[in-house]
Amino acid sequence: MARLRSVLPARSAAIVDDYEDHLRDERGLSGHTVRGYVGDVVSLLAFFHGVTDEGESETPPNPPGTSLGGPSQGCEERPGEGVRERLDSLDVGVLRAWLARQHEQGRSRTTLARRAASARTFTAWAYKRGLVASDPGARLASPRPHRRLPGVLRQDEAGELMRVSATGAEDGHPLALRDHALIELLYATGVRISELCGLDIDDVDFERRIVRVLGKGRKQRMVPFGLPAERSLQSWLRRGRPEVATRDSGPALFLGARGRRVDPRTVRRVVHETVAAVPGAVDVGPHGLRHSAATHMLDGGADLRSVQELLGHATLATTQLYTHVTVERLKAIHDQTHPRAR
């Protein structure tokens, strides 16, 4: 995508830079989310300019004589206003043609839905900036993605996962203590992997057993955790972290082998390797532990609103996905046990 971005005309490249700054600085989105949005917009603008995703030229979808190459009349650049290129020919037909090309290239319904959402976010921003006369994304429909049921651990498998993790930490090795603590905290709180990696020591309130989490959109929430997570965190902080901490560690709660803030790739590896030691368990990563925590809370009688708040979901619709898992489980139990199920 970086190569494709480099072949955009200078003014469109500057628009992308402006948009990236907006997503990061004004909306406070995570680096991963910003990269996704920007990558989709680069693909859209490349198509708009007649450049394929491979960086090759083709016939652009916009008609000749548009204001694509420079500022339109009445939209001159003024000091301090930044880029003022007009993109009036970026209409809903271009957006549909771009998505059609993605479909031809074999993109999934989920990817197409995400890219349509990215296009709508971009054109809404461009309209507010005066780069388009109207917002074409407002008229863009997108295919509804297939909502697959997430893979989750059974409660007994989650318990076995914690036992395996605790056994690995019995020798007192610093990184084994860390691994056990982060697995316990992931399952206890259902936090996202980015939220876990961003935790500082003073985000943990041991007296109340609450962790302060900075979630999507830089929204802060407080999430409780239980005694097993508390014990594992205390062991890590007393016996493990001091052994690997360096001058570069700062306040980070979890550290990598070289003493810096732990990397998400390390957390994924730890979770996958530990889950692999649980007989019969489906392969899940950190997000799978989040799914498992939510499902088990609902199985235990938690209401949707409470789970929504704990997980930091912006809408209840996202949390409702977990109810499908619970219902599917109930149906399976009914089919297996009820004398009139079949």
Instruction: Identify the active-site residue in 49, 192, 291, 296.
Output: 192
Which of 24, 209, 212, 216 is the catalytic position? 216
Of the candidates 19, 37, 187, 322, the residue annotated as catalytic is 322
Q: Is 322 a catalytic residue?
A: yes
How does 23-50 read in b/e, with b if 16+ C-beta sit within 10 Å? Answer: bbeeeebbeebbebbbbbbbbbbbbbbe
- Residue 303: CB atoms within 10 Å: 9
Check if 192 is active-site: yes
The residues, any chain, with a CB within 8 Å of residue 101's CB and separated by 6 or more, are 47
H-helix or E-strand containing 295? Answer: helix 286-299
Give the active site residue among 22, 290, 291, 296.
290
Please name the residues in contact with 215: beta carbons below 8 A apart, sequence gap of 6 or more.
Answer: 192, 195, 221, 312
Q: Which of 239, 260, 272, 287 is catalytic?
A: 287
Beta-carbon contacts of 190 under 8 Å, excluding residues fewer than 6 positions away, are 223, 289, 290, 293, 294, 297, 310, 311
Selected catalytic residue, list 5, 180, 291, 313? 313
Residues that are catalytic: 192, 216, 287, 290, 313, 322
